């Protein structure tokens, strides 16, 4: 390198400078790590390829809110509820987003064995997962709450009078709280699953499989535990949720009412998304969703939410208490 | 030793520089029967200190305890006057660590990576950027620093590892096998760099290595450990005076050469495929040259040997605290002459 040093000449002669400026404490360092992680959750500061999925999923999850704004502008009333948004779309988009981005936050550092370089700096052992979790919760909040805000703004843009706006605001707040619940739980599950493997593909696969399988399982359990009650009808204009006569069925017209059994009320416990929805219904959310009520098990959903959250955060803490030392 | 005064960080005695590292009957046992450190008591003065020992001697364990990354089973350790268990955060704020193993992400540039780690060292954003650029320049990475690390050679990666240890302006650098995986030229420039950082930057350095011959050139002090126990701690000069060794390798006729060198009073002994003689100055070189020339042997290699640490104690029977089980040095040439 002496040749390079010679050509660099004057610059090189500055010599080593001691750093005498300000040094951030632990809190400042955690904040720096938080920002760095939040940016990488959206591919900011990385190549264009890293931004494809965050941008795409964000655009898709905002579409219903934009559609609502258009509909409201044409005179319709609000077409999307705040507390469930568009349930199925939100589930699918969040699975894709988390499966793609949670490994971005934790698996890369595991893969390239960077952790010792964090832990040899003035951080405590659990500061690293804490900053990562906070950053990813924020990222999920952005994914979930920004569409709600677009929905709100699109709606009140056409509202006239303070009371109409107040009504929208009152409906929005529970929606935001449900979104917060989603963000915290999904981010925690996503990160703990991602931290199991340094290989991005495995981590992404584990997250996607876990969320999709449990989601499908909950759907199956709900449908097998929902009893179809067949009523013969004479006059049935729009009897609740029923179907018309079955194909090829002979006889008088019937209406099939789907009556969830107790087992169906419990089936939602099979998946994080239906657990979140169970808690929403327990707390008074009324918009329809794939989970047909929680019966008298609302509190159980609350407990399930807390247990799942505690297990995820605890798992993350255990994962990083030992990682990176060896 | 211009750096000693700065290292104290407080009112210490003017004559005796405050030690950089002190350990007191430090022991680390891992579950099972593995004892990584065994009653290690050692004091490291400011300057460049070589921490030598075979692989598995406990060097990395010691470094991790010093950084507060693992807890000792018993005993105490302190770095820059701070207790390793109680004040490990302060220690880590003053210490730069270069791990032995690969620890770099392939898909970011060196600038981005070192800047980020500068922030994690506690530097504000602008300062982190400036110091990252400086550290990379100090380790000899110029335009390359805007390239992704994955495209770097091993030597450049080692430099990035060193730069990230340097970015927070540490008082102490702990370098774990900094020359691992490098070719001879790369090793030399890495050692030169370390030596320069120690001398010009006023940063105390501990270099862990299993190759004594390599780091002895740049060290002021040497700490040798084996199986977690202190073999010897001393200044470099007192250790190497009588332990310079020349390695001679010939393609054929090693036995003849052995006899010839013995005849010339050099006390050679076989070592793997080569012969070792004690180096007492230019005379030794002349004698070896003449012996090889007289016998008309094809000389393959003639160099000052990069010795492993255990040889230090074989070569130097006077070593205080040398393991008692070592064979008497004097007997070796005798055995050798049997072979001859």
Cα angle for residues A154, A157, A163 (degrees, 5° grid) = 115
Using the predicted structure, report yes or no on whether residue B259 has a pLDDT greater than 60: yes
Partner residue facing A120 (CB), from B92, B200, B201? B92
Q: Do domains B4-240 and B245-339 have the same CATH topology?
A: no
With a CB cutoff of 8 Å and minimum separation 6, the contacts of B172 are B7, B20, B21, B79, B80, B94, B95, B96, B203, B204, B205, B206
Rounded mean pLDDT of B178-188?
Answer: 91
Rounded mean pLDDT of B167-190?
Answer: 93
B315 or A274, higher pLDDT: A274
Tens digits of residue pLDDT in B278-316: 877 788 888 888 999 999 988 888 877 655 555 555 544
Ranking A38-42, A54-58, B325-329 by mean pLDDT, the lowest is B325-329
**Which residues of B fall within a CB distance of 8 Å from A25?**
122
As given in the structure block, the two tokens for residue A48 are 């264009």
Q: What percent of chain B has pLDDT over 70?
A: 82
| pLDDT value, residue A26 | 93
| pLDDT value, residue A1 | 46
* Among B49, B55, B57, CA closest to B22: B49
**Chain B contact present for A27, CB below 8 A:** no
Partner residue facing B200 (CB), from A16, A23, A124? A16
B245 or A144, higher pLDDT: A144
* Among A181, A48, A36, CA closest to A105: A36
CA of A325 vs chain B CAs: smallest distance (Å): 7
Q: Which residue of B has its CA nearest to A128?
A: B120
What backbone phi and psi angles, to 5 degrees, belong to B28?
Answer: -135, 115
| pLDDT value, residue B149 | 95
Partner residue facing B70 (CB), from A112, A122, A325? A325
Using the predicted structure, report yes or no on whether residue B117 has a pLDDT greater than 60: yes
**Chain B contact present for A5, CB below 8 A:** yes
Note whether ipTM > 0.85 here.
no
Banded pLDDT at B269 (limits 50, 70, 90) = confident
CA of A273 vs chain B CAs: smallest distance (Å): 34
Banded pLDDT at B327 (limits 50, 70, 90) = very low
Banded pLDDT at A66 (limits 50, 70, 90) = very high
Instruction: Say how many CB pairs under 8 Å bridge A and B.
Output: 106
Rounded mean pLDDT of A16-21?
Answer: 89
The average confidence (pLDDT) of chain A is 89
**Which residues of B fall within a CB distance of 8 Å from A32?**
119-120, 125
| pLDDT value, residue B329 | 35
Using the predicted structure, report yes or no on whether residue B242 has a pLDDT greater than 60: no
**Chain A contact present for B90, CB below 8 A:** yes
Assign domain B4-240 to its CATH superfamily.
Answer: P-loop containing nucleotide triphosphate hydrolases (3.40.50.300)
- Identify the residue among B121, B136, B146, B191 best suited for mutation to test binding to A, counting A beta carbons within 10 A and taking the highest: B121
Give B245-339's CATH code, choosing from 3.30.70, 3.30.310, 1.10.3470, 3.40.720: 3.30.70
Ranking A39-53, A104-118, A239-253 by mean pLDDT, the lowest is A239-253
Exposed, middle or buried by CB within 10 Å (0-12, 13-18, 19+), for B249? middle
What is the C-alpha R_g of chain B? 22
**What are the beta bridge partners of residue B96?**
B173
Q: Judge: B101–A22 Cβ closer than 8 Å, yes or no.
A: no
> Per-domain residue ranges for chain B?
4-240, 245-339
B232 or B6, higher pLDDT: B232
* Among B69, B68, B118, B70, CA closest to B88: B68
Using the predicted structure, report yes or no on whether residue B223 has a pLDDT greater than 80: yes
| pLDDT value, residue B238 | 63
Rounded mean pLDDT of A115-137?
Answer: 95
Partner residue facing A122 (CB), from B102, B122, B137? B122
Question: In chain A, which among 88-117 make CB contacts under 8 A with chain B?
Answer: 108-109, 111-114, 116-117
pTM: 0.80
* Among B133, B8, B71, CA closest to A322: B71
| pLDDT value, residue B311 | 55
């Amino acid at each position: 390198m002496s040749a390079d040093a010679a050509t660099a000449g004057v610059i090189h002669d500055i010599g080593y400078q001691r750093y005498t400026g300000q040094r951030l404490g632990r809190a400042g360092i955690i904040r720096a790590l938080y920002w760095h992680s939040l940016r990488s959750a959206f591919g900011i500061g990385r190549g264009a390829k890293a931004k494809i999925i965050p941008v795409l999923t964000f655009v898709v999850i905002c579409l219903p809110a934009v559609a609502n704004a258009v509909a409201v502008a044409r005179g319709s009333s609000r077409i999307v509820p705040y507390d469930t948004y568009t349930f199925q779309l939100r589930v699918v988009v969040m699975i894709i987003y988390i499966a793609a981005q949670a490994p971005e936050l934790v698996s890369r550092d595991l893969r390239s064995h960077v952790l010792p370089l964090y832990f040899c700096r003035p951080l405590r052992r659990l500061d690293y997962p804490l900053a990562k979790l906070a950053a990813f919760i924020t990222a999920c909040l952005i994914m979930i709450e920004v569409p709600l805000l677009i929905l709100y703004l699109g709606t009140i843009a056409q509202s006239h009078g303070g009371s109409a706006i107040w009504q929208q605001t009152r409906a929005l707040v529970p929606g935001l709280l449900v979104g917060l619940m989603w963000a915290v739980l999904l981010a925690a599950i996503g990160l703990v699953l991602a931290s199991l493997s340094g290989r991005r593909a495995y981590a992404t696969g584990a997250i996607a499989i876990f969320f999709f399988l449990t989601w499908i399982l909950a759907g199956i359990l709900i449908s097998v535990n929902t009893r179809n009650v067949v009523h013969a009808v004479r006059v049935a204009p729009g009897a609740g949720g029923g179907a018309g006569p079955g194909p090829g069925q002979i006889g008088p017209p019937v209406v099939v009412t789907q009556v969830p059994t107790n087992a169906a009320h419990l089936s939602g416990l099979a998946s994080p998304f239906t657990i979140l929805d169970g808690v929403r219904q327990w707390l008074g959310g009324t918009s329809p969703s794939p989970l047909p009520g929680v019966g008298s098990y609302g509190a159980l959903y609350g407990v399930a939410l807390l247990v799942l959250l505690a297990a995820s955060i605890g798992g993350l803490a255990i994962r990083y208490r030992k990682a990176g030392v060896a | 030793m211009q750096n000693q005064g700065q290292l104290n960080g407080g009112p210490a005695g003017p004559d005796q520089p405050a030690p950089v590292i002190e350990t007191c009957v430090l022991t680390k046992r891992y579950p099972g029967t593995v004892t990584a450190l065994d009653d290690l008591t050692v004091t490291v003065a400011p300057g460049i200190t070589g921490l030598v020992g075979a692989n598995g001697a406990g060097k990395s364990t010691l470094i991790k305890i010093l950084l507060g990354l693992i807890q000792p089973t018993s005993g105490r350790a302190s770095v820059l006057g701070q207790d390793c268990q109680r004040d490990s955060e302060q220690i880590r704020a003053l210490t730069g660590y270069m791990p032995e193993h690969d620890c770099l992400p392939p898909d970011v540039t060196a600038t981005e990576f070192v800047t980020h780690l500068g922030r994690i060292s506690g530097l504000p954003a602008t300062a982190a950027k400036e110091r990252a650029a400086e550290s990379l320049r100090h380790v000899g990475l110029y335009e390359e620093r805007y390239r992704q690390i994955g495209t770097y050679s091993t030597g450049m990666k080692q430099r990035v590892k060193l730069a990230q240890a340097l970015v927070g302006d540490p008082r102490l650098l702990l370098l774990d096998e900094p020359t691992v995986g490098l070719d001879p030229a790369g090793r030399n420039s890495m050692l030169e760099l370390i030596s320069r950082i120690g001398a010009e930057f006023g940063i105390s350095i501990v270099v862990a290595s299993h190759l004594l011959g390599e780091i002895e050139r740049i060290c002021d002090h040497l700490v040798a450990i084996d199986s977690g126990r202190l073999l010897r701690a001393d200044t470099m000069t007192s250790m190497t005076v009588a332990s310079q060794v020349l390695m001679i390798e010939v393609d054929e006729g090693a036995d003849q050469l052995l006899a010839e060198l013995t005849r010339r009073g050099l006390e050679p002994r076989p070592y793997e495929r080569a012969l070792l003689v004690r180096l007492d100055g230019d005379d030794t070189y002349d004698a070896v040259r003449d012996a090889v020339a007289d016998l008309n042997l094809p000389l393959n290699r003639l160099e000052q040997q990069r010795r492993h640490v255990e040889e230090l104690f074989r070569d130097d029977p006077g070593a205080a605290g040398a393991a008692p089980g070592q064979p008497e040095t004097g007997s070796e040439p005798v055995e050798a002459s049997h072979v001859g």
